[in-house]
Amino acid sequence: MKKKKMMALLCAMALTTGCLYGCGQSDGGSVQTDTGAGTAAASDTGSVGGETADISEHVDISIGGINVGNSSSSEGWPSEIVTYIEDKFNVTLETKNYDNESLNLDLSGGTTCDILQINDEHIESILKGKHAVDLSQYQDTLAKNIFSDTYSFRNEVLKSFKSNGEDKLYFVTPRVTSDNAQSTFGATLNYGYAVRWDLYKEIGSPEIKNDDDYVEALKKMKEIYPETEDGLPVYALSAYNDSNLHPYFFIGCLTQGYSNMESGLYVKNMKTNELVPDIYDVNLNGVTTPFWAGISFYNKLYKADLLDPDCFITKGEDLTEKYTKGQYLGGYVNWHYGNWNKNARAEDPETMKQFVILPAYMGWANERNFAGWQGKYFLVSSHSKNIERAVMILDYLQSEECARIVDSGVEGRWEIGEDGKPALTEDTIDMKSNTARAEEWTKSGIGATFSDMVGYDPNNIASDGSAISLWEKPDIMVRNLTAAEKDMCKEFGIELPSDLLKKKMEAGESMDMSAGNSAIQFGMEIVPSDIGRIDSNCEQITINAIPGLVQAKTDEEFQAAKEALMAELKAAGAEDSIAWWTQAWNTSKEAVENMQ
């Protein structure tokens, strides 16, 4: 990719992974940045980035955020990974979930967690209120991982667009993709057309190329499984209404080849990186946008009597409960059916009663997040009583070493082989797939603790020549498949379930996200209050219109409901919003592309 003059080679990290320069332990027990992951031990002083920091006093460090869970209710806390970091920096760690109200309350009272995670909507108030520590002052001391060449592009983007014009670094992002990141589809797909494997196989495993094929397969599955063993009614799926428009536009993103902005009013074409209005499609010359593809899909389910009658009141926790009871046959995200799969395998490790995911048009894989995950910003709070220790912890989360232990476990869970390469131990591999060791797996923290915080992407190639995640090796991925997934591979003549997507891509029938440029979103201006009000109003108007659209009994009734929605959106100022978003997006796109 192009390089900006004077800018170092772009690599990427993930916010909670480790650091290329390590953070191991010297003979004297000091914290260093040029060794591999070793046994952590606190001493009176820690050497971080070549500078000595006093860590003799044990302190508490809290990490809180909009997308952060509570450690008090986290299963397996403190995990091996948490304990390792605690010992390394002589701290006790805890995490806290914030909503907007509680975050604003703590900010106004100066009682926030030491490290905060915020979204785009909070950036302006955080900067104006001077709630974030300027990390630039620690560039040559406590924050050398953050300011390593690996993050040059990410830091340039954040200083340019997320510093209120001060050209300072207040935030870091997780899961930055490097230039050397390997392409991988993983073992299984997380998003696509979900099916109950036992039922899907019983109806002949028909090929699913589009929504119509999927609806037909769901019909046949319901015919042979109309109710659960406990006599509960069975449906294809339902929406999750605590996520506003997401359940409707996200399935359309997968089937049409887009990624969404937060609200779903606008989407990005993942081939061209162009911004497209998702709902107000009046001037798109017949292009089917994700929202309308999704609404059409739900309407087809409704007319086929496959949609849960509680669709418009169901929330995420309700979906999880119904999946757990076996009341759904499909879906398109893997967020809600985990308990069903786990419980079924606990009863019978060889069970075929498992949800698996078949590929839609776009596979949510190989996204190139060169500036990290957009919308997740981590900062050190200026209200912290232990700012330097918090900077050290945040910097460590940006290290290659931390990334490796988060994705692959603390040292001992993996070891260096005779070829000089790191590899997971046989015991670790068994621990993941052995249902009898589920509690031990949870306690290890692998792939869970701080997974959304580390800097390196798991597919980045580390300094030892291996990927950050040591799980992305074909032999290991095959060994960790469930019995149902192995049966699925046998049925289709493939090695891994994700091979279905790879084969479709090779045939030109599917795509991944590798052409997308997520950094463009970082350069977007803060949405003006008048446009924000229009967008909020348009979102609510659309939510109110959804039941009439989904439950339309004829195509004519559906079209009439859509035209009524278009008229209402136009009256609410949708065209003014589109004009602002289009101009702001194009400006950001040009600026970011000139940086690369």
pLDDT at 526: 87
Res 302 pLDDT > 70: yes
Looking at residues 124-137, what average pLDDT do you find?
96
pLDDT at 84: 98
pLDDT at 23: 36
| Residue 475 placed within a domain | no
Res 194 pLDDT > 80: yes
547's tokens: 């039941």
Model confidence at 38, pLDDT cuts 50, 70, 90, reads very low
| Residue 565 placed within a domain | yes
Same domain, yes or no, for 216 and 91? no
Q: Assess contact for 316 and 240: CB atoms under 8 A.
A: yes
- Report the mean per-residue pLDDT for the chain: 91
Residues with Cβ within 8 Å of residue 81, at least 6 apart in sequence: 405, 406, 409, 410, 444, 445, 446, 449, 450
305-348 residue pLDDT tens: 999 999 999 999 999 999 999 999 999 999 899 899 999 998 99
DSSP conformation class of 137: G
198-219 residue pLDDT tens: 999 999 999 999 999 999 999 9
Strands in 98-139 per DSSP E:
115-118
Looking at residues 30-38, what average pLDDT do you find?
37
pLDDT at 216: 98
* Alpha-carbon gap, residue 12 to 175, rounded angstroms: 7
- Give which of 388, 414, 542, 543 is closest to 476, Cα–Cα: 414
Res 262 pLDDT > 90: no
Res 46 pLDDT > 90: no
Same domain, yes or no, for 385 and 343? no
Res 30 pLDDT > 90: no
pLDDT at 169: 98
Same domain, yes or no, for 298 and 375? no
415-435 residue pLDDT tens: 999 999 999 999 999 999 888
pLDDT at 5: 32
Number of separate domains in the chain? 3
376-409 residue pLDDT tens: 999 999 999 999 999 999 999 999 999 999 999 9
CA angle, 235 as apex, 233 and 241 as ends, to 5°?
110
Res 50 pLDDT > 90: no
pLDDT at 44: 52
369's tokens: 């997040």
Other C-beta atoms lying within 10 Å of the C-beta of residue 28: 11
Same domain, yes or no, for 359 and 374? no
Model confidence at 357, pLDDT cuts 50, 70, 90, reads very high
Res 287 pLDDT > 90: yes
Model confidence at 53, pLDDT cuts 50, 70, 90, reads confident
Other C-beta atoms lying within 10 Å of the C-beta of residue 580: 18
* Alpha-carbon gap, residue 236 to 245, rounded angstroms: 19
Looking at residues 456-483, what average pLDDT do you find?
94
Same domain, yes or no, for 171 and 234? no
Higher per-residue pLDDT: 30 or 486 = 486
107's tokens: 């900010």
Residue 511: strand pairing partners:
362
Same domain, yes or no, for 232 and 334? yes
Res 89 pLDDT > 60: yes
Looking at residues 228-244, what average pLDDT do you find?
96
pLDDT at 155: 98
Model confidence at 58, pLDDT cuts 50, 70, 90, reads very high
Give the whole-number percent of the chain exceeding pLDDT 70.
91
| Residue 468 placed within a domain | no
Q: Is the peptide bond preceding residue 78 cis, with omega within 30 degrees of 0?
A: yes
pLDDT at 52: 63
DSSP state string for 244-280: TTHHHHHHHHHHHTEEE-SSSSEEEETTT--EEESS-
- Give which of 234, 469, 473, 423 is closest to 330, Cα–Cα: 234
388's tokens: 């330097």
Q: Looking at residue 375, which CATH number applies to its domain? A: 3.40.190.10
pLDDT at 433: 82
Looking at residues 151-176, what average pLDDT do you find?
97
pLDDT at 42: 45
| Residue 456 placed within a domain | no
Higher per-residue pLDDT: 350 or 19 = 350
504-542 residue pLDDT tens: 999 999 999 999 999 999 999 989 999 999 999 999 999
Res 15 pLDDT > 70: no
Q: Rounded to two decimals, what is the model's pTM?
A: 0.83
The amino acid sitting at 563 is E
Domain end residue (candidates: 465, 496, 519): 519
- Give which of 444, 410, 384 is closest to 23, Cα–Cα: 410
Res 19 pLDDT > 50: no
pLDDT at 289: 98
Model confidence at 449, pLDDT cuts 50, 70, 90, reads confident
Q: Looking at residue 504, which CATH number applies to its domain? A: 3.40.190
| Residue 414 placed within a domain | no
Same domain, yes or no, for 231 and 341? yes
Same domain, yes or no, for 210 and 105? no
Domain end residue (candidates: 519, 548, 567): 519
Same domain, yes or no, for 376 and 358? no
| Residue 463 placed within a domain | no
Same domain, yes or no, for 337 and 383? no
113-130 residue pLDDT tens: 999 999 998 999 999 999
Higher per-residue pLDDT: 582 or 15 = 582
457-466 residue pLDDT tens: 999 999 999 9
CA angle, 403 as apex, 32 and 169 as ends, to 5°?
75
In this structure, the dihedral spanned by the alpha carbons of residues 395, 396, 398 and 401, taken in order and rounded to 10 degrees, is 150
4's tokens: 């900006």
Same domain, yes or no, for 171 and 239? no
Res 273 pLDDT > 60: yes
| Residue 424 placed within a domain | no
Residue 356: strand pairing partners:
195
Rg (CA), the chain: 24
| Residue 511 placed within a domain | yes
Model confidence at 223, pLDDT cuts 50, 70, 90, reads very high
The domain in which residue 67 lies consists of 18-181+370-407
Same domain, yes or no, for 357 and 209? yes
